[in-house]
Chains A and B, each alone.
Chain A
Amino acid sequence: MRALLFAALLLPVPAAAQDAAQERALRRDIAELDSRVARLEGYREVVKLQRAFAYYVDRGLWRDAATLFASTGTLELGIDGVYVGPARIEEYLRRLHGGQEGLIYGQLNEWVTLQPSIAVADNGLSATARWRDLGMLGQYRQHGEWRDGIYENTYVVEGGVWKIASVHLYVNFVAPYARGWARLDEGEGLVRSAAAGDFPPDMPPTAAYAPFPAVQVPPFAQPNPVTGRAVR
């Protein structure tokens, strides 16, 4: 870059050619900045979408959570199967939490969403992200649970707006607060919800896995950042 500049200044070239060379160099710089800034902004949009999803589900705002999804966006929680499109996702979320708008008195529903690893595509138009889920769930005087899980999600720009393309929560366990996760029996930590029975998914589960105490490793969309190799 600088060498090019010096060359342009020192050589007795016609002014028009000099301008053209500088213009080309400048355009190249700007194009690269464009791509990098767009990807940084994409990272921010992804963060905002997923955290907004968690905040809305936390407080029982099913519609607001569902409208974060793209028109063919999908939601898959545990072994409940795949729900497609904002309308289906909204109804599934509602039924999963008792069928009402919002939460009811004594309902605890914290979907704490942490530890993002986000890769925005070079063209800045799509992304993948892995997140940690820490759930605090329950109903006062009836039951209380911890949930542990991993999200592997995708995002897409649709009509110029970043949206969620897919949310897939691999539930590692849902454990009663009092007994804790260490006392879970084989297979006890993950069951199909009643909502998925009454309101069947559009597609069956995309993954077969057993919860803790089995060891579960949700597939990694992103390669190891140091070796660059796929993680298996």
Chain B
Amino acid sequence: MIKTIPTSAHPEASLASGPSTGSGRASLLGAALAVLALLAIPIPATAQTAQERVSAYRERVERLEDQVAIENLQASFGYYFDKGLWGEAAALFSRQGRFEYGQQGIYITPARIERAMLLFGPEGLAPGILNNHMMLQSVVIVADDGRTATGRWQGMVMLGQSGQTGQWGVGVYENTYVLEGGVWKISGLHFYPLGFTDYDKGWMQSQIPLAGQSALFPPDLPPSEVYRAFPGVYVPPFSYPHPVTGESMADIPQPADDVVGRP
């Protein structure tokens, strides 16, 4: 996304001085708004300009706050999912939220998602099960209107069952978010695992294929994309445009794969 840097456009920014403390921010904004309220009675032309500018800053600050809220939302999902807190995890989804993990298909609505998560273990997990799904390296882009957002995340995974061998996994999340009732929620969580390997053997010797659709509790829709993980080299499409060129990377060429029938 190409953004101009407002600092250079406003020479008076060089007047900025003084320490900026966390507690000072709200009161400073409050003071600025108080001034505006007073100025609002007799409206000089210059004050109108100032009001417009404060309004623009409010929008920019809101977009920054949205990014933090979404990062916390996704981190919370990870912490709940790790520990089998399926109810908590499912509650993070919007009314029509979608959950898609690898090749297991798409589950829609929080109630269906919560039940689908039982495919990963019982509620609260069980002794000896490790289900770590890290949420790392986020690129969160909030729409200009502040109503929707996208996020790409790096998802390292550590799985295991006590007494048996563990697994390392790695993958990418491409998620969407929506502001619903004033609260950011997950509207689509799509985890593309890109490889699982046996802990003892490592990725030189071991590759574990992705699980398919459950016969026990089938998904609402089949997988949105058919691909296979390592040793295949699928490229999950990018939700965000290239930060410098601005080009879309939503539809980039995939390597040929005769197993899934891609030329």
A residues neighboring B (CB under 8 Å): 1-2, 5, 9, 19, 22-23, 25-38, 40-42, 44-45, 47-49, 51-52, 54-55, 59-61, 64, 67-68, 102-108, 110, 112-114, 123-125, 136, 138-144, 157, 160-163, 177-178
CA distance A41 to B204 in the complex (A): 41
Interface 1/0 per residue, B229-262 and A, CB below 8 Å: 0111101001010111100010010010000000
Residue B179 CB within 8 A of the other chain: no
Q: Dominant SS at the B interface?
A: mixed
- Contact assessment for B3 and A33 in the assembled complex, using a CB-CB cutoff below 8 Å: no
B17 within 8 A of A: yes
Please tell me the number of chain B residues within 8 Å of chain A, measured between CB atoms: 67
Which of A9, A40, A67, A144 lies in contact with B242, CB distance below 8 A?
A67
Residue of A64, A105, A139 touching B232 (CB-CB under 8 A): A105
A163 and B244 form a contact (CB under 8 A): yes
* CB of B138 to closest CB in A, whole Å: 7
Q: How far is the CB of B209 from chain A (nearest CB, A)?
A: 13
Q: Are the CB atoms of A160 and B2 closer together than 8 Å?
A: yes
Q: Measured between C-beta atoms, what is the minimum distance from A62 to chain B in Å?
A: 13
Q: Does residue B46 face the partner (Cβ distance < 8 Å to A)?
A: yes
Contacts of A23 in B (CB 8 A): 44, 46-47, 50
Q: How far is the CA of A119 from the CA of B260 in the complex (A)?
A: 45
CB neighbours of A112 from chain B (8 A): 136-137, 154, 156, 170
**Please, which residues of chain B bring their CB within 8 A of the CB of A161?**
2-3, 243-244
- Residue of A25, A41, A49, A114 with most partner-chain B CB within 10 A: A41
Query: B60 on the interface (CB 8 Å rule)?
Result: yes
CB-based contact B28/A107 at 8 Å: no
Contact indicator A138/B204 (Cβ below 8 Å): yes
A34 touches B204 (CB 8 A): no
Provide the residues of chain B in CB contact with A102, threshold 8 Å: 233, 235, 255
**Chain A proximity of B245: nearest CB distance (Å):** 5
